[in-house]
Amino acid sequence: MAEKEKYYCEKCNKWMDGDEFFTYKDKTKTELCKKCLTMHIDNFDENTFLWLLEKMNVPYVPAEWNIIRDRIYEKDPSKLTSQSVFGRYLSKMKLKQWCNYTWADTEELQKQYAESAAQHAEEARQREAEAKERFEAGEISEAEYKTLMSTVSKHEDNKNNRPSDFVIGQNPTVPGSIGMNEDLYMSEDELIDTAADLTEDDKLYLAMKWGRLYKPAEWVELEKTYNEMTESFDIQDADTINTLILICKTNLKMNQSLDIGDVDGFQKLSKVSESLRKSAKFTAAQNKEDKNDFVDSVGELVAMCERDGFIPRYATDIPQDKVDLTLKDMNDYLHKLVTQDLGFGQQIEDALKKIQIQKELNEAEAAAQDGVVELEDEDYAAFMEEVEAQKEKDIETYEEDYQEVDN
């Protein structure tokens, strides 16, 4: 079996099989692997992938992109990754229906889709208007009337004021998608640009802090959340600051998920946010507990003393440090040992005698080594007799002491 040809990714600096790379129309491979090339794609934001479609020289048809995206999401939201939609879209563009189109045909194709969608919507309205007239005239039953009514009509009658030009297969809550009625929302011109006052230095600072893949308005929102958190919590170390930055980004993505109706995505992000907040102790309960139970500055301590005077809650006569408790236990043990153990004095004297005897033996051994005199058997016998005699004396002393205690 022939070995697969290897290709080099210029971003992750690895050699990989050709299957790990996308293929241009001229059959050559992309400079970056699939993972690196698509790592910053947001499937709901066309600004993150249009440049890639142009690079691959394939047309952008929003309806086809959205159909692929929605099918993946409906089947398993966890499978909606930055690479999944893009890869399937490129495969679809290789079909006979699309293979002869290029990026230059994007505008014309989008125009054709818009005209087709408008024509279908108008035809549907005419059919349903005719069905409604026949139903009101009693020519058809209610069941037939409801059957003939399409999704468009149902949304027209919906009290929730959903878009009247809703198109099956499109998401009317996603800004910019086909089928969304922009008249239901405030236009960009009506909104206040929160990033209008940012200078070039401000933009550079925010891009370095939050990343260049965010819009200026998103930078402002991230910075607002960050400042509110720093005012609410005591943040001192770099690790906590990094966690706070992740929390701010997660909160932004959570709000965006809710805005586009991505409930599952919101739930996953909320779990991530909760985990990050708990790990860094960024919760209201913990913040309240910290403020109530601790005095973390001399000024607060002085103010507390001046306001409340003596505070019994913080006063105690019992040593709280483990070292203090250990020293106290040792002192108590020594006091009981000296005052309550009647044979302790004799034990000390016996120990001193043994030390003296051992010292004399060591001196004798050293003198013998200097004079090259070796000990005889009688010397060892005399020493052992002395030890036995001392042992018997210790036993007699021990028995006498305890007899006095018993009496």
Q: What pLDDT was estimated at residue 55?
A: 92
pLDDT digits (tens, 9 = 90+) for 286-336: 555 555 555 667 777 777 777 766 656 555 666 667 787 788 888 888 887
CA-based end-to-end distance of the chain: 102
Q: Which residues contact 52 (CB under 8 A, 6 or more apart)?
A: 37, 38, 41, 86
Please tell me the distance from the alpha carbon of residue 317 to that of residue 320, in angstroms, as a whole number.
Answer: 9
- Tell me which residue of 157, 154, 156, 131 sits closest to 142, measured CA to CA: 131
pTM (two decimals): 0.37
Please tell me the distance from the alpha carbon of residue 48 to that of residue 30, in angstroms, as a whole number.
Answer: 18
> What number of residues does the chain have?
407
What percentage of residues in the chain have a pLDDT greater than 90?
A: 14
Q: What pLDDT was estimated at residue 154?
A: 40
Q: What pLDDT was estimated at residue 168?
A: 34
Please tell me the distance from the alpha carbon of residue 126 to that of residue 156, in angstroms, as a whole number.
Answer: 14
pLDDT digits (tens, 9 = 90+) for 125-170: 888 888 888 888 888 888 888 887 764 444 344 334 333 333 333 4
Q: What pLDDT was estimated at residue 292?
A: 54
Instruction: Match 């022939």 to its residue by tokens.
Output: 2
